[in-house]
Every structure is written in C-alpha cells, then in structure tokens.
Structure 1
Amino acid sequence: MPLPRLISGLSEIASGHDALICDVWGVVHDGARHHPAAADALMRFREKHGPVVLLTNAPRVPEEVAAQCASYGLPADCYDAIVSSGGATRDELARRSAAGPLSLYYIGPDRDLPMIEGLDIRRTGIEQADIALCIGLVDDMTETVADYAGVLAAMKARGLEMLCANPDLVVHRGPRLLYCAGSLAQAYEASGGQVVYYGKPHLPVYAAALAAAGNPKKPLAVGDGLVTDVRGANAAGLDVLFIADGVHGEDVTPYTPEHLAALFARYGAHAATVTRALKW
C-alpha cells in the first residue's frame, strides 16, 4: 500500500472529485462550536466542484442534526443534505412497529427520545422488552461502559437484540473524550449479545449518502475516525481524506507518512491523503 500524501488543504485534491461525503463531529464541529475553516472548505467545494453530504453517526434524525449544527454556528449553505445513523435507526423502528406495538428498552438520555416519538412504541423494563435501543450513555459526561455491566448482563440473560443508533466508540466534546453507544454495543457483543448497527462503517448508510449526493462518479469521503469513517469508506470504494487532528489524538504523532501508514495498518484502514484539520 502506498504511503499517504500529506496535504495542507482540500483545495489540493478537490478538482479530482465531484462530491464530498463528510463526517460531522470532529471534522466540522467539536460538540461545542463549529470549525469556521471547515465550513469555508465545504462552501468552496460546493461552489466549484459538487454537492456536500454530511454523513454522521449522530443518533438523531437529520432535522435534529441540522438544528444542532446550526446551534454551533455551522452555516446551512455549506452542505446539501444530511444522512444520519439516527435517521436509519428510526426508519427501522418504524418498520418493526408498523404491525403493532413494539415494547422497547431504551438506553440513552431523555433529549434523544424524539427518536421514537410518533411511533407505536412502548418503553418498558428489560423483562418486558421485545428489543433494546441504545442511543448512548444516559450521562456521557460522567458515566463509563463499566457502569452498564449489570444492564448488559440482564439484557443478555433475556436474549434481547440491541439496535445501536450510533456505532461511534468515543467522541470529542470540546477537549473531553466521551463514550458513545458503539462502546456499549461492543461490550454487549463481547458478552455474546446480538447487535444491529446503523451508520458508519456499515454499507447501507453509504448507499444512502451517495444517493443524496446524486450518485456521483468520483466522491471523496472525509473523516477522522479510522474504524468508522475510513474503514467504512474503504468498504464502499470511496477515496478518503483522513483528518488527523480528531478522535485519534496523540496516536497520529509523529505526523509523517510512514507513521500514519503504520497507524492505518493497525486499524485495517487506508487513506490516500491526510490533513491536520479540514480547511481549503
């Protein structure tokens, strides 16, 4: 595998692509404020080269993701569409509850309950549930995966299938690194539990993102997560721009093609180009 090329900005490679499939958290915002240079890069790409689709593992429907991005100051005219793991999860819940009430054990904060609003779903305890929905930790600022050992053991004893609305393992919120739903799902799988994931790195969400972009011929995926963004894009056959100053933190040091190639190999991923942060 050739060494990755280090670039200073998106402008160096933009002309070779006709659409962007761009990660959100860690690339265009940090969970507290948007990155102006990233927004500028997305705007310039839209003006000169093609559509921009934001592809996120946020466990929220696209309309909620748009509202959240706006609250962080991200201009709405820097992208064309949003595809989210939350949207895909809600579609599946709608399908499963179409024939009658679905009893569901919910894991996540109350702020994400809109995921199930308007559906024929009844929240229950573990003993009464048909399935479990994991959106995230109830309080991701203070809790860890270890706090859910008893919950996961009880779910496993019932043989409950878990739907994971956010395959991300961790995420930056400002300077802090917090656990996501994917970490709980990973622990549940490790105990022998069954998990269905919605979002990156799984292929269906890439098909949805490419359709939202008009099925481009030369799309470029942009992201900072090697397990989700990069491996998912690799599986979908997309070129990748890896954002180094993101979820992998100090693992990208030293910032050299040789070290990055070794890091990619460790994760079974590959990106042809790398930049520190998304900018034009």
Structure 2
Amino acid sequence: MTRIIERLSEVSTNYDAYFVDLWGCVHDGVHPYTDAVDALRQVRANGGFVVLVTNAPRHRTSVEGQLDQIGVPRDCWDTIATSGDSARAAMFTGAVGNKVWFMGEDHDRSFFDPLALIDNPVDIEEVALDKADGIVCCGPFDPHTHPDTLRPQLLLAKQKGLKLLCANPDIVVDRGATREWCAGAIAQLYTEMGGESLYFGKPHPPIYDLARRRMTAEGRAVDDSRILAIGDGILTDIKGAQGEDIDSLFITGGLARDETKTDRQPDPDALQMFTTAEMVTPTFAIGYLR
C-alpha cells in the first residue's frame, strides 16, 4: 500500500541518497518548481546526496546548461546521470553499427559529441536511412506530431533489420502546458511493428548503474536500501525503482495528475486505482515535491 506523505522531510531520515527525476518534478521545462528546489536543498543540508537521474537524450554537460537556463540552482543537486550518456556509451561501443540514421531535433545533435570514457570508440558516421547500419533516436523530428507519421521510415528500417537505439524511453513530457512526444514513443511503435529497440534510460538498468557510478566518483557509496527514487513517471521512474529494489516517491501532480485527481495531493482512491492498473506500487506518493 502506497503511503501518501505531506513533505519529503517526513521520510528523509531513512535515506542518504536521492535519484531525482527532473521534468515534472524539479521543473516543467520552462520554470523551476520553487518548493521542489527548497526540498532538495534541505536534504543536502542534512547530508543527503542528490543525483538528478533524467531521461534527457543528451550528455550531462548539456543538461547542466539547460538547468542554468531554466533557473534551477546548482546548490540543490550534486551530480547528473542522463539516459543520453548511457546510450552514447552504447553507440560508441558499436551497439547499432558505425553508420547511423539520426532521429531528433537539431539541439539533440550533441549526442554525437566525443565520449572520453570509452576506449577505442567506434567512428560514427551519420548517413541516410537507406545506407544506415542502425538508428539513433533522440526523439521525433517534430515533438508535436504523432509518431505514427514515421511508420514508412520505420517499416523500411525493420525490413533492413536495423536496431533502434532509444536515448530517451519517455513516451511523453509536458513542456509547460504543452505535451510533447519523446523517443520512447517511437521505440514503442518500432517494437510493435516487429523492430528491435535498445533502451538505456529509466526504467532500464544501465542508467541506474551510471547513477551509482557517478555517486562513487564523488566519494559517496550508498547502499540501495538508503536510496530513494523520486519521479512522476509511473512506468519509468517508479517502475525502474521497483526493478532496482529501491524505495520510491511518486509525484502524482506531473504526468498522472488527471488519473490521480491531484490538486494539492492525490485522491487516495484514484491513486490506488491508477497504481493497480499500472501494476506498479510506489513506496510513497505526494502531489508535488516539497
């Protein structure tokens, strides 16, 4: 049974590290959430270590820049683990070949920046789909257009037997009041069509391994029993935490605000119906991180 809490501080003494989702929890893609920032500052002041674990299809330096632009202060987090970095490591070790067809927006092209952590990286060349060995998918070309419009290209890719590297398993994200499609929606469609998709962000293990390595690099080794995952994606943040056997705090006022009837806090009955339907059980739930 999921326990609804009023504030993070109610349970923070049980944890030494926090794997915190960004979009829908700390900011809305346009502005930071002040209460969330204050809550993270408080746990850090009490000795907690905050890893921002995001399905952003870019490297962490790019995400840092985006956070600065949005206005998320650097004193509310310690380090960042992105699905983009996990997927980039796979690409540079040859997971989808060296000739790749790129799907995404122009600002996602930092995905191809060199990755120093990989010894003898594959020399990646961006090519047209008919000449590609594999697909690198950071998202749709237009995040406001339904992924179904990409069926012709995906059908050709499937016929060629191409693997699709998904740099962001999220299906949708809310930028302010506007909902946008993510790479996960394309990968899901490709899989349904019979293609093979490779995932590296939440809820899949590689990004959690990266988050732990980032903590270790900062001199913090934390047992899984002392880690709390925080996020608004029931099938990414919360399902991923459940798969890693770590506790979770579900932010119901994000992607599932309608399903959980969240105003300030979720409706308990609606929350129970939603989590039962999704077959995922968060440890805790709260309307908004505070």
TM-score category by the smaller chain? Answer: over 0.9
SS state at 1:96 partner: coil
Q: Deviations over 1:16-41 (max 9, x none)?
A: 11111100111001111111111111
Aligned residue for 1:266? 277
CA distance in 1, matches of 2:273, 2:124: 46
Partner amino acid, structure 1, of 2:279: G
Tell me if structure 2 keeps the 8 A contact 1:109–1:136: yes
Deviations 1:59-96 (A, max 9, x none): 00011111101110000111111000001111112212
The one-letter amino acid paired with 2:81 is: V
Contact 1:103 1:123 survives alignment (8 Å)? yes
Q: Structure 2 length as normaliser, TM-score?
A: 0.91
Give aligned pairs, total.
Answer: 273
Contact 1:15 1:49 in 2 (8 A): no
> Cα RMSD over matched residues?
1.5
Structure 1: runs of 5 or more not aligned: none
* Cα deviations by residue, 1:112-166 (Å, 9 ceiling, x for unpaired): 11111347221111111011011001121x3111211111111111111000000
**Do 1:23 and 1:224's aligned partners in 2 also have CA atoms closer than 8 Å?**
yes
CA distance in 2, matches of 1:160, 1:215: 39
* Residue 132 (str. 1) matches residue 130 (str. 2): no
Residue 240 (1) aligns with residue 240 (2): no
Offset, 1:257: 2.7
Aligned to 1:222: 230
Distance in 2 (alpha carbons) for counterparts of 1:93 and 1:5: 40
Aligned to 1:52: 50
The amino acid of 1:50's aligned partner reads: G
Give the counterpart letter for 2:174 in structure 1.
H
Give deviations 1:140-193, integer Å, cap 9, x for gaps: 1x3111211111111111111000000000000000111100000000000000
> Partners in 2 of 1:120 and 1:143 — Cα distance?
32
Q: Report the residue type matching 2:94 in the other structure.
A: R
Alignment check: 8 A CA contact 1:22 1:223 kept: yes
Q: 1:105 aligns with which of 101, 108, 112?
A: 101
How far apart are 1:210 and its partner, in Å?
A: 2.5
Contact persistence 1:17–1:49 (CA under 8 A):
no
- The correspondence of residues 65-80 of structure 1 with structure 2, limited to 5 A, is 65-80=63-78
Gaps of 5+ in 2: 115-121
SS in 1 for 2:42: helix
Matches within 5 A, 1:114-153: 114-118=110-114, 120-140=123-143, 142-153=144-155
C-alpha contact 2:86 2:206 (8 A) present in aligned 1:
no
User: Is the CA contact 2:86–2:210 (under 8 Å) kept in the aligned structure 1?
Assistant: no
- TM-score norm. by structure 1 comes to 0.94
Q: Kindly, what percent of the aligned residue pairs are identical?
A: 35
- Report the Cα offset of residue 258 of structure 1: 3.1
Shift of 1:256: 2.9
